[in-house]
Chains A and B, each alone.
Chain A
Amino acid sequence: MKAAPNLKIMNAKELTRIVLAKEELFILDVRNESDFNDWKIEGESVDIINIPYFNLLDGVDEALDQIPDGKKLLVVCAKEGSSKFVAEQIVEAGRTNVHYLEGGMKAWSEHLEPVEIGELKTGGSLYQFVRIGKGCLSYMVVSQGEAAVIDTLRMTDVFEQFAKEKGAVIKHTLDTHLHADHISGGRRLAEQTGATYWLPPKDATEVTFTYEKLEEGRDISVGSATIQIQPVYSPGHTIGSTSFIVDDQYLLTGDILFIESIGRPDLAGKAEDWVGDLRNTLYSRYAELSQDLMVLPAHFGKVTELGAGGRVMAKLSDLYQNNPGLNIQQEEEFRRTVTENLPPQPNAYQEIRQTNMGKITPSEDEQREMEVGPNRCAVHDK
């Protein structure tokens, strides 16, 4: 293979910046068609086409015809090798402004972008970690040298490093529920930092490790200024699903309520049983809370849900107006919406649940493999 000095490398952080800034980008995804159809890079200003690298072994003419000349081009594959292989040929064909994605979709899936959501009344801040490639969201409450992490993702180093930068010690890690689409980093982060790991007891009946029980009325404090995290039992996505109210301002809804959709009740195999719980949580429990609360979910489904700087948030009252999942009047129609025609289940969701229960311990590579693809936790994700 000839050297291609004009080939540039783009990393996941830079790609995130481009997507959030809505800068124009043309992406040639050279993975196989089924992987591409399952999951791809999305952005409002992103044009993307798929030509598998194995169709380009004899030359890239087929691709050149479809790539606009002069526009910034990013070639993407699963890990990196094939995108480099194809991108080099495109450069050799005389094209400029050609990049390949460092670490491929693997790196894209694992990139976390921290954004500040807002300040807390008595000092301190709430941060959101946007896993833009997979649509997962984690949170960190930082106050007076202490921190709590909610719905920690597998990349625990990012949280440790971030807390260190903020001069805070991680005291608590909490999961809103037993996740089925990604592997929780909550337990590992707690072990690494000496923090306490909290789980809803009803989701933890089969876990193999010790944990603290998230129960209504049992407030958790962060920092000397006592930022209270107040658990609200809100079943429906799972039987134990618990929401948190932070600082009387923020409502962390886990996988119960998203910005443009609502949680699906079927990932633990109990769709019919949990429909009533889900409806009750969404139409009664949340309705009784202060409507000024800022809703912060554990996922987003579409890039259109990303706000300024990538933040995913909305006022509860706005969601009652605009979220289709909160505006289904008839119970029967609601039941059909959340149990029929659901999107496919997340990749390896049963193995992921087993891992989060501590029943199996896959290697890092296996965990990465299990998490491939979109989160698909919402009813309306397609």
Chain B
Amino acid sequence: MPEIKTNMTLDCKGLACPMPIVKTKKAIDQLEEGQVIEVQATDKGSLADIQGWAKNTGHHYLGTVEDGDVLRHYIRKSRPAEVKEEKKHPHCVSNEDLAKKLAANDKITVIDVREPAEYSFNRIPGSISIPLGELEDHVHELNPEDEIYVVCRTGNRSDMACRLLSEKGFNQVKNVEPGMSGWTGPLENAEK
């Protein structure tokens, strides 16, 4: 698996529960919204606990990589705006519609605007990774005439991306809803 881009690394190796979660909580309080933390732990129980903790707090558990005895957990600090942002881009398609397009081999472009760490763990085969924050810098690489489907986890970041692309003169841009959180179609990840 290629290096996963993170904003902070927390060493919890050798610590037994509850310490890995106690330390993760403290660390994530210091992160900016949207940033990703890597938590290294050797306690096997930390896997289910960190998933449960993330679910209950609303932070986004991305995945875990096993590296010998060390479990590397990746969590993204969620943005409150993510769930509240009003959706404005008028053109939306469902996950199912996108899956049909892909299955039919239609000539389309799928852009995944999640963080690289999220993209690493699961993504639609053939999708291109351009994190929302970097989209503006990469717009010139895209063709405004292409049929572009933008995907994120829940449809909010992709909505922002769609609006940005529309402003730049892209007129065949569609927001995929809900996105990866509800995606049941084919997946790939960097390990496979």
Which residues of A does B touch, CB under 8 Å? Answer: 32-35, 52-55, 57, 77-79, 81-82, 85, 369
Contacts and interface: CB of A to CB of B under 8 A. Distances in A.
Nearest to A80: B16
A52 B19 contact: no
A33 B56 CA distance: 11
Given A57-B22, A57-B25, A369-B44, A79 B17 contact: yes
Contact of A32 (B16, B19, B44, B49): B49
Contacts of B17: 53, 77-79, 81-82
Interface residues of B, number: 15
A351 B174 CA distance: 46
Closest 6 CB pairs of A and B: A32-B52, A54-B53, A82-B18, A54-B21, A81-B16, A32-B48
B53 A52 contact: yes
A57 B21 contact: yes
Given A34-B52, A53-B18, A57-B22, 9 more contacts: A54-B49, A54-B56, A57-B21, A77-B17, A79-B17, A79-B45, A81-B18, A81-B19, A82-B18
Contacts of A55: 53, 56
A78 B45 contact: yes
Interface string B8-31: 000000001111011001000000
B145 to A, nearest CB: 48
B25 A34 contact: no
A33 B52 CA distance: 7
Contact of A52 (B22, B44, B49): B49
A314 to B, nearest CB: 37
9 contacts: A32-B52, A52-B56, A53-B21, A54-B56, A55-B53, A77-B17, A79-B16, A79-B45, A81-B16
Contacts of A81: 16-19
Contacts of A78: 17, 45
Contacts of B44: 369
B65 to A, nearest CB: 19
Contacts of B19: 81
Contacts of B18: 53-54, 57, 81-82, 85
Nearest to B26: A57
Nearest to B21: A54
B45 A52 contact: no
Contacts of B52: 32-34, 52, 54
